Structures are given as C-alpha cells and as structure tokens.
C-alpha cells in the first residue's frame, strides 16, 4: 500500500470496519471510507433491518458520522463490497454525496478514480429546489 495514495489509505480503513456491517438479510456487507480536507478519515457500514430492501447504506452512515463530527469538505471516497473490491455508491448515496461533497470529490472505482461531477454529470441538488 502506498501511504501517500489517499484511496489506498481509505481502502485499508474501509476493510477495517467492514466486519461491523450488519447485513443478515442480503448477505451483502458494504463499507465506505472518506477523507476530508483536514486529513480526517471517516468510515461507515451498511445496516439492514427486517423490512427487506430497507437499509442504511455505508455511505449514509459515513455522511451521518462526518456531519456529527463537523467534518470539513470531503476530498476522497471509497466503497467496498464484502470481498474488499471497489464498488460505486448506489443512487441514493450518490444523491447524498452530491448534497454534502464538492464536485471534485475523488471516488475510487474498479476502473480508477472519478470525480463526483463525472459520476453525476446532471445531478439534481438543493439548487434545483424552488421555494414555494
């Protein structure tokens, strides 16, 4: 692991928390880790409940933890499946990231890093909501 590669550091952090995922129904544990511009690593795992198909995604728990810690801007993100391979955030999590991270957030994928802007070129966000 290159200690200077943010995605490699985050991969290790996500692997560390992956066993804490609670996925008894889908058997699909997911872990996420992000780096903010203050150098702090934030992590999250998916948490399911007995209502099939209802889950708190790893990215959701990561964003919740980051917000509670008064996190600064996120700069890098990784999401891993149960085997430790890179996966891209799901649709709901992409929306959540879009609302809480800058467009230049670097997301590790199986094909290499992409920015949030490149992942979501036509995203819908708070600026699209009209006050009524």
Query: Whole domain around residue 88: which residue ranges?
Result: 6-120
Q: Is residue 129 part of a domain?
A: no
Mean pLDDT of the chain: 87
Q: Which residues are catalytic?
A: 59
Let me know: does 13 contact 33? Beta carbons within 8 Å.
Answer: yes
The pLDDT assigned to 95 comes to 83
How many structural domains are present in the chain?
A: 1
Mean pLDDT, rounded, for 24-44: 92
Residue 131 located in a structural domain: no
CA 12 – CA 58 distance, rounded (Å): 15
**Is residue 125, in this structure, part of any structural domain at all?**
no
Is the pTM value of this prediction over 0.85? Answer: yes
Please write down the HEC assignment for all residues of 56-77: ECHHHHHHHHHHHCCCCCEEEE
State the pLDDT at residue 14.
Answer: 97
Split at pLDDT 50, 70, 90, the class of 129 is low
When pLDDT is cut at 50, 70 and 90, the band that residue 123 belongs to is: low
Q: Which two tokens stand for residue 33?
A: 């880790």
Query: What distance in Å separates the CA atoms of residue 120 and residue 46, rounded to the nearest whole number?
Result: 22
- pLDDT of 11: 97
The answer to whether the beta carbons of residues 74 and 105 sit under 8 Å apart is yes
Q: Give the residue-averaged pLDDT of 42-63.
A: 86
pLDDT number for residue 77: 95
User: Does pLDDT of 132 surpass 60?
Assistant: no
Residues with Cβ within 8 Å of 43's Cβ and at least 6 positions away in sequence, in order, are 13, 14, 16, 17, 31, 32, 33, 34, 62, 65
Asked if 116 and 98 touch (Cβ cutoff 8 Å), the reply is: yes
Specify the CATH number for the domain of residue 64.
3.40.140.10
């Amino acid at each position: 692991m290159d200690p200077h590669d943010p995605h490699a550091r985050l991969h290790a952090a996500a692997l560390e928390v992956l066993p804490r995922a609670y996925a008894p129904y889908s058997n699909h544990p997911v872990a996420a880790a992000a780096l903010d511009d203050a150098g702090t690593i934030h992590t999250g795992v998916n948490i399911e409940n007995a209502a099939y198909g209802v889950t708190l995604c790893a990215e959701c728990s990561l964003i919740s933890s980051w917000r509670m810690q008064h996190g600064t801007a996120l700069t890098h993100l990784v999401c891993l499946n149960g085997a430790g391979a890179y996966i891209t955030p799901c649709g709901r999590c992409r929306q959540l990231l879009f609302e809480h991270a800058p467009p230049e957030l670097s997301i590790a994928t199986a094909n290499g890093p992409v920015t949030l802007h490149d992942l979501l070129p036509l995203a819908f966000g708070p600026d699209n909501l009209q006050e009524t």
